[in-house]
Amino acid sequence: MNPGYWLGHGNGPFSPHLVSARLVSRQSLLVNANWIYLKTVEDEIFAGTDSAKPSKLQLQALVDVFNSLGWNPGLRTATKSLNPDAWWNAAMGQASAVMDLLDFLNRTCRTDPQIELLFTVAKDQHGAVPCKREPEDPRHRYHGARPSPYRIRCGFQGCNSSMQRSAVIQWIVSLVDDEELDGDRLVNDLRRGLELEMEDEEPENLDEEAEEDEGV
């Protein structure tokens, strides 16, 4: 291998792809790598359940941690250190928004009909809710499978992926985190659906009260 070729001193099919070199001390390299790692800890980038699908943010942070030590598998482009939109500048806000959404849905969707409404809202927005086992395969999509306790199941024959209640909420939040779903729209549509359900229940309650008055 001729180093000069990769530094622009040669002709060939790969000559436009130059290699740049930066000299840093071992101490500086380790200090930078440690800073990147500590940012993932501080911002709780890798927090969550071990069964959850890694988010785009988590995958990017993982690439950047390894890249800070000089290793890159080539699957993703490392974040540029001076990028103002780098995850270490924005991760705290995104992580906070995701946790706020999870907290809101856990407080709002406590019954089976409410979980079913949340799933319907997510499905209507995305067109379909991807299967956690094979999210990239359009054949793997969740459908409502059982009303009580409410459960969703992948409709692809041979796939046994299913989940209920809290797992449904966590999966939908992860889709928001991956930008597969719009979180603000999800919340607004859910609130609108809950309000409509309450309006449908009110006339029935009034009729029941009127019947009780007549009985008296």
Is residue 83 domain-shared with residue 138, that is, in the same domain? Answer: no
pLDDT bracket for residue 214 (50, 70, 90): low
Gap between the Cα atoms of 91 and 212, Å rounded: 57
pTM of the model: 0.55
At 158, list the tokens.
């041979």
**What would the two tokens of residue 147 be?**
């009303």
Say if 48 falls within a structural domain: yes
* Non-local CB neighbours of 206 within 8 Å, separated by 6+ positions: none
Q: What is the mean pLDDT of residues 123-144?
A: 93
Residue 87 and residue 46 in contact, taking contact as beta carbons nearer than 8 Å = no
Same domain? For 83 and 114 the reply is no
| Higher pLDDT among residues 121 and 99, named by residue | 121
CA–CA dist 69, 49 (Å, integer): 26
Rounded to 5°, angle at Cα 56 from 60 and 145: 155
Q: Is residue 98 part of a domain?
A: no
Residue 142, CA atoms < 13 Å, CB-side half-sphere: 28
Digit-coded pLDDT (tens) for 7-50: 777 777 777 777 766 777 788 888 888 888 988 888 778 877 67
Q: Which residue has the higher pLDDT, 187 or 24?
A: 187
Q: What is the DSSP letter of 17?
A: S
172 band by pLDDT with thresholds 50, 70 and 90: very high
Please, which residues have CB within 8 angstroms of residue 56's CB and are 6 or more apart in sequence?
Answer: 177, 178, 179
Instruction: Look at strands 150-154 and 142-147 and give their pairing.
Output: antiparallel
Two tokens, residue 59: 């995958």
10 shares its domain with 59: yes
| Average per-residue pLDDT for the chain | 82
* 211 within some domain: yes
Helical H segments across 69-182, by residue range: 87-108, 112-126, 166-177
Distance CA 145, CA 152 (A): 5
Structural domain containing residue 53: 3-93
User: Which has more pLDDT, 199 or 56?
Assistant: 56
Same domain, 69 and 140: no
Most confident of 8-22, 76-90, 124-138: 124-138
- pLDDT higher than threshold 50 for residue 216: no
**Residue 101 lies inside a defined structural domain of this protein:** no
Give whole-number Cα distances, 129 to 50, 104, 151, 157, in Å. 21, 20, 13, 16
pLDDT of residue 141: 95
Region 195-199: mean pLDDT is 82
Residue 74 sits in the same domain as residue 13: yes
Amino acid at 3: P
Whether residue 88 is found in the same domain as residue 119: no
Both 17 and 78 in one domain: the answer is yes
Total domains in the fold of the chain: 2
Verify that 183 and 207 share a domain, yes or no: yes
